[in-house]
A and B are shown apart, each in its own frame.
Chain A
Amino acid sequence: MSNPSNRRRRLCKASDLAPGERLIVDVEGRSIGVFNVAGQFFALHNRCPHVGGALCEGPLTGTTLPAQQRGEYVYGREGRILRCAWHGWEFEVETGRCLSDAKVRAKTFTVTVEAGDVILHL
């Protein structure tokens, strides 16, 4: 996650973005998705590192956890996996880490809540 910087942008009131909801905003020519995940706020560049798809327009969902054997399905991480709207690559919404390739990350931004406002740090 990038460090908080001086470039701040107030997006909305925290109470306007309920858990599980998202807001996609254009900031300085960039499309950025802001997510409320169980009361915590996260932001990612709305551009998938795969081939530039609209990452933040995809479903915020869970996924199958690594399994020991064929036929074993354990579902988890509900609401914490962002699947790109186009090709379905999976990313941890908190970190931007791609589940199928540890070398790939979606760009993330720091989000804070200050005096009830959601602040995006660029």
Chain B
Amino acid sequence: MIDCDVHNDWSSSNVLLPYIEPSFRDYLIRGELPGARGSFPHAHRPWLHPEDFRRHDIRPASDDEHYGLMRENLLDRYQPEVAILTGEEAIEVSTLANPHYASALARAYNEWMVDTWLPRDDRFVGSLVIAPQDPKGAAVEIRRLGAHPRIVQVLASHGSYRPYGDSFYDPIWEACAEMELPFAVHLGGQGGINYQPIGGGPSTYYWETHALLLQPGMSHVASVIANGIFERYPAMKFVVIECGVAWMPAILWRLDANWRALRKETPWVKRLPSEYARDHIRLSTQPIERPANKQQLWDVLAAMDGENVLMYASDYPHWDFDSPDQLPLPKDWLPKVMDANARQVYRKLPQATAASPALAA
């Protein structure tokens, strides 16, 4: 089993001090922060979880304690073979106006993650966090660390300045292709320069908004297809993390219909959008939709070949955690969804072993 979304939190952003370059170290020590000393520089979203978005007892004083709780509540309990670390607040660098500071923070996070989290557990692999508002700096970072054997993807928040297929981000795609890494977006970055976090203007309540936060996921899926990312980089995978899944077939139906009528607008797009999606886009399952009648969900997901495009994620330790033993999907999909699909996307992972459900299927 592979868990595609595990949050390696820090007790304080001060953990970055040994890793951030001197030009920006003072910013962390004396500069303005959005909270108390030790809070992480970012623009916060305007919806605040009334019970905190983490499980209530995940408030450790040290990073070792974070790891201890993760072992107890996730790793030893459910025994994934691989846990893909996705950081916690680090992707929020995407909200900062100063792209140089944002990239410096991302670099410091990556150093800290490689230096302190990966050695804690053989099951860990990491995501390379970038500041997408600094595409050239992000590309340098992707080339600097992308060859690390335990860094399996490039990661940015799904809240964004522009949709990710936009030519603004070309250096990021080029670097991902060169380093043979998937580009992933994870729920987050709803603030600051990412000034359109949600369609129709700001919603009111946290739970209301959280249910709608798949919206940028839709934009990115449409954008990367319409901008021909997969024609340019035929081996590229784009991963959408924590945006839910049931919306995807409907969006693909709509994209297919429009492209059939207006392919002339993007003559570099040569296949149906749904065909690119099937070959190149993967969705992590959490937070999976849970209708009273599971069959309704299965029918929708089958329309996008869910068995082959979904990848299990727990989102440990957040409030909308999906445990691996309660996933509302057809049993015969599970070998691929729980394991094999992720191994296809993340080529640095060991391919299926005798112990993995991929071979048991």
Residues on A close to B: CB < 8 A?
50, 63-74, 87-90, 99-101
Contact = CB atoms under 8 A, between A and B. Distances in A.
A70 B259 CA distance: 15
A89 B264 contact: no
Contact of B268 (A67, A88, A90): A67
B261 A88 contact: yes
Contact of A99 (B228, B263, B272): B263
A19 to B, nearest CB: 23
14 contacts: A50-B260, A63-B264, A64-B263, A67-B268, A69-B232, A71-B167, A72-B267, A87-B261, A89-B261, A90-B263, A90-B264, A99-B263, A100-B259, A100-B260
Given A50-B260, A73-B267, 10 more contacts: A63-B264, A69-B228, A69-B232, A70-B167, A70-B227, A70-B266, A70-B268, A72-B268, A74-B267, A101-B272
Q: Is the interface of A mostly helix, strand, loop or mixed?
A: loop
Contact of B228 (A50, A65, A70, A100): A70
Nearest to B268: A67
Nearest to A86: B261
B70 to A, nearest CB: 42
Contacts of B270: 66
Given A69-B228, A69-B232, A70-B228, A100 B267 contact: no
Nearest to B263: A100
A71 B259 CA distance: 16
B292 interface: no
Contacts of A63: 264
B207 to A, nearest CB: 39
Contact of A68 (B261, B264, B268): B268
Nearest to A73: B267
Given A69-B232, A100-B259, A64 B227 contact: no
B267 A64 contact: yes
B278 to A, nearest CB: 16
A66 B267 contact: yes
Q: Which of A69, A72, A100 has the most CB of B within 10 A?
A: A100
B228 A101 contact: no
A69 B263 contact: no
A100 B163 CA distance: 25
Contacts of B259: 100
Contacts of B262: 88
A100 B275 CA distance: 12
Interface in B264-291: 264-268, 270, 272
